[in-house]
């Protein structure tokens, strides 16, 4: 499936609109935008520019917080997370590229709460695909799609582009 059809800019427009609405509804003040490495950071940077947020994008590498260490082991090339030292009472917009099982979002929330207690967290994702396994859902979504389990969404950057790949392909 060619994701040119998904037209990345349309997805970003939808996500931006939804996010603006949520920011207003929930009264987010001086929000901190945090991207989950790697794809989430790219999306966060784009949204950060569109929303004109002052504070720089925070980076989160959730590899050490995953729940599959005992099945899979270490992830290579883990980079340090970069969050402001004090996120106590802050409003956070957590951004990822794809929401699937919900486990990444769970790990990200755990890591964020190790840094402090934010006032609220909004989860924004470019794509939500069916298959969630835990009771966590995104607040703002660029687009919902249904994919079969062997398919995976792959982002590349720059420029931001999406492709759907079928696993098992060389």
Partner 1 sequence: MIALQLTTEGRLKHFLTVEGLSRNLLTEILDTAESFVGGPGQPIKKVPLLRGKTIVNLFFENSTRTRTTFELAAKRLSADVLNMSIATSSTAKGESLLDTIRNLEAMFVDMFVVRHNISGSAHFIAQHTAPHISVINAGDGQHAHPTQAMLDMFTIRQIKPDFAKLRVAIIGDILHSRVARSQIQALNTLGAAEVRVIAPKTLLPTHVESLGVSVCHSLTEGLKDIDVIIMLRLQKERMASALLPSEAEYFKCFGLTESKLKIAKTDAIVMHPGPINRGVEIESSVADGPQSVILRQVSNGIAVRMAILSMAMQPQGGG
What is the binding site for partner 1 (CB under 8 A)?
61, 63-65, 69-74, 76-81, 110, 114
Residue placing its CB nearer to partner 1 in the complex, 105 or 125: 105
Minimum distance from CB of 168 to partner 1 (Å)? 18
- Residue given tokens 């492709």 in the structure block: 163
Minimum distance from CB of 98 to partner 1 (Å)? 22
Residue placing its CB nearer to partner 1 in the complex, 30 or 86: 86
Furthest-apart CA atoms within the chain: distance in Å: 47
Which three-class secondary structure state does DSSP give residue 142? strand
Minimum distance from CB of 140 to partner 1 (Å)? 28
Minimum distance from CB of 86 to partner 1 (Å)? 14
| DSSP secondary structure letter of residue 106 | H
Buried b (16+ CB within 10 A) or exposed e, 50-59: eeebeeebbb
Residue placing its CB nearer to partner 1 in the complex, 23 or 81: 81
Tokens, residue 82:
């970069």
Residue placing its CB nearer to partner 1 in the complex, 37 or 90: 37
Q: Where are the alpha helices (DSSP H) in 52-130?
A: 69-72, 103-115
CA distances from 82 to 40, 121, 137, 139 (A): 14, 17, 24, 23
């Amino acid at each position: 499936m060619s994701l040119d059809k998904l037209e990345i800019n349309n997805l970003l427009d939808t996500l931006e609109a939804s996010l603006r609405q949520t920011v207003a509804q929930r009264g987010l003040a001086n929000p901190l935008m945090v991207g989950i490495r790697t794809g989430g950071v790219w999306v966060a940077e784009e949204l950060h520019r569109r929303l004109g947020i002052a504070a720089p994008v925070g980076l989160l590498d959730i590899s050490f917080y995953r729940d599959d260490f005992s099945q899979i082991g270490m992830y290579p090339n883990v980079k340090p997370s970069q969050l402001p030292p004090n996120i106590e009472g802050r409003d956070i917009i957590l951004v990822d590229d794809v929401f699937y099982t919900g486990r990444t979002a769970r790990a990200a929330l755990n890591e964020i709460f190790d840094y402090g207690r934010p006032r609220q967290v909004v989860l924004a994702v470019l794509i939500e695909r069916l298959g969630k396994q835990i009771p966590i859902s995104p607040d703002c979504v660029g687009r919902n799609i249904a994919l079969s389990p062997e398919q995976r969404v792959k982002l590349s950057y720059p420029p931001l582009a999406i492709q759907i790949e079928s696993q098992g392909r060389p």
